[in-house]
Amino acid sequence: MSKPEPDENDALIARNKRARHDYEILETWEAGLVLTGTEVKALRDGRAQIGDAYAIVKDGEVWLLNAHIAPYDKGNIWNHEPTRSRKLLMHAKEIKQLIGAVERKGLTIVALELYFKRGRAKVRIGLARGKQLHDKRADLKAKDDAREMQRALRTR
């Protein structure tokens, strides 16, 4: 079950641009994050990177790994570890779908976007299959062809 893309009211914090280049995204979900106070403040400052972030399913729970949220400047001794594992909040039915999909060969869960929705931090995760080099080249060629067609239509 795919969720709609974030609308203009949602504050985008970070986007994983390489994910759509390196992977074929089959399905997407929106999940909440379990965060500490200093993590939320750092996110409000826009200090996050999810370029290497991915999710795993362990013991019936989904965990986000390698998402880097920089330490909060005024956090002193209560500051968080930047790349700690963070639990994702999803419905049990969605987790079961993920478990079934990840067990299939070659599929992984990657983080696509990190944003605030109505004051709550959310992450959009996608079920992905890795692209081969020729797939990436074909996508780039199709993108270039579409750009050339648009350019030709504009000049007419």
Print the domain residue range for 110: 11-131
- Neighbour count for residue 89 (Cβ, 10 Å): 14
pLDDT of residue 125: 92
pLDDT of residue 114: 92
| Burial (0-12, 13-18, 19+ Cβ within 10 Å), 125 | buried
Does residue 51 belong to any structural domain of this protein? yes
Residue 102 sits in a domain of what CATH number?
A: 2.40.280.10
Residue by residue, pLDDT tens for the chain (156 residues) are 455 555 555 788 989 988 888 888 888 999 999 988 888 888 888 888 888 899 989 888 999 999 998 888 887 787 888 888 999 999 999 998 888 888 877 788 999 999 999 889 999 999 988 878 777 788 888 889 999 999 998 887
Does residue 77 belong to any structural domain of this protein? yes
pLDDT of residue 91: 94
Rounded alpha-carbon distances, angstroms, from residue 103 to 93, 94, 123: 16, 14, 22
Rounded alpha-carbon distances, angstroms, from residue 133 to 31, 69, 73, 86, 124: 30, 31, 41, 32, 25
The answer to whether the predicted template modeling score (pTM) of the entire model surpasses 0.85 is no
